[in-house]
Amino acid sequence: MKKFLSFLLCFFLFSVSFSQVKVSTYTIKDCNLLSGYNGKSFTEFTPIKEKTPLEIVGKWSTAIYTVLHNECVYQIYSGNIVPNDWALFDRKMQEYVDSVKTAVKDSIQKAEFRKKYVKDSIQKARDLAVEIAHLAFVAKKDSLKNIADNLIKGIKSKYPIYVEYISTSYPNSAGGVDLNVSIENTGKKAIKYITFTGYPINAVNDRCTCEIRRYSTASPCGVGPVAPGETASYCFENLWYNSTIVEYVPVSIKIQYMDNTFKSVPQSALKEMKRIRLKADEIVNN
């Protein structure tokens, strides 16, 4: 940073920008203006008379000053010009140097501010991109959920009940397996009794039999009332004793309403409900 400041100061102080600091003076005797510096000495000399007006615009060293004459820049030995305005020149020169330092400092501060602004803008752009991606994700999820909900709504309007789940539990330590069921009454009448008929299978899809009661197909009955729009859940404990059971195959569901009328839901309808339910889950979780 110090090298950078020094470079800027040198650039301003040893160029035509010195014209910003001018102190009038004049020669006190006939002498030469110096130019053509070759790195060691001056090679060109321009004679001028005593009382020649000049403007001091810079300083090479204590002995040599930079002056303007006829709008050209020269050097002159300090002993050839009147020295009574050095204090004014030094003060103006210091003011100019201070202004250059201030300008450099302001420029650095502005550069840091721009750097921070760009960094903040990039972060804001990233945050916005994340937010847009999140909103797009949410919108997609909402859209998929709407599709899934419409599928479920369609199947509910088709049958008098909707099976939310019907499955077996894991065998307990005695090999007992429960049947767990949840249904929604999608009809217009209250359900009095609901009977579930089906059988269990093992991991290779073979039909299983209860090793104690010796039956395979079971028809447990759930008790209502279940009003229209309501959901009912049932757990039929230890319906089979067989530790190889992994799944339940529903065959039919028989509904008895409070007015003692009946409706049956066939296996084809139960398979369609399961297919739609799995499809809806797949859509939402995709």
Q: What residue spans define the domains of the chain?
A: 2-96, 161-285
Regarding pTM above 0.75, the answer is no
DSSP-derived 3-state class of residue 212: coil
Which run of H or E residues covers position 281?
A: helix 267-285
Beta strand residue intervals within the chain, DSSP E: 23-26, 31-37, 42-48, 53-59, 64-69, 72-77, 161-168, 176-185, 191-201, 221-226, 231-241, 247-257, 262-265
CATH class of 161-285: mainly beta
What tens digit of pLDDT does each residue of 126-183 get? 777 777 777 777 777 777 777 778 888 888 888 999 999 999 999 998 899 999 999 9
Kind of pairing between the strands at 221-226 and 262-265? unpaired
| 150 CB burial (10 A radius; 0-12, 13-18, 19+) | exposed
Residue 93 has a pLDDT of 65
CATH class of 2-96: mainly beta
Tokens 């599709």, residue located: 147
Residue 278 has a pLDDT of 86
Cα–Cα dist 263/186, whole Å: 13
Segments of the chain with pLDDT less than 70: 1-21, 61-62, 83-90, 92-93, 96-97, 100, 286
Given CA atoms 12, 17, 18, 20 in this order, what sign does their dihedral have?
Answer: negative
Cβ contact 253:274 at 8 Å: no
Binning the chain into helix, strand and coil, the percentages to the nearest 5 are 40, 35, 25
DSSP-derived 3-state class of residue 224: strand
CA distances from 220 to 76, 105, 198, 251, 269 (A): 120, 88, 9, 12, 19
Residue 8 has a pLDDT of 42
Find out whether the peptide bond into 225 is cis, omega within 30 degrees of 0. yes
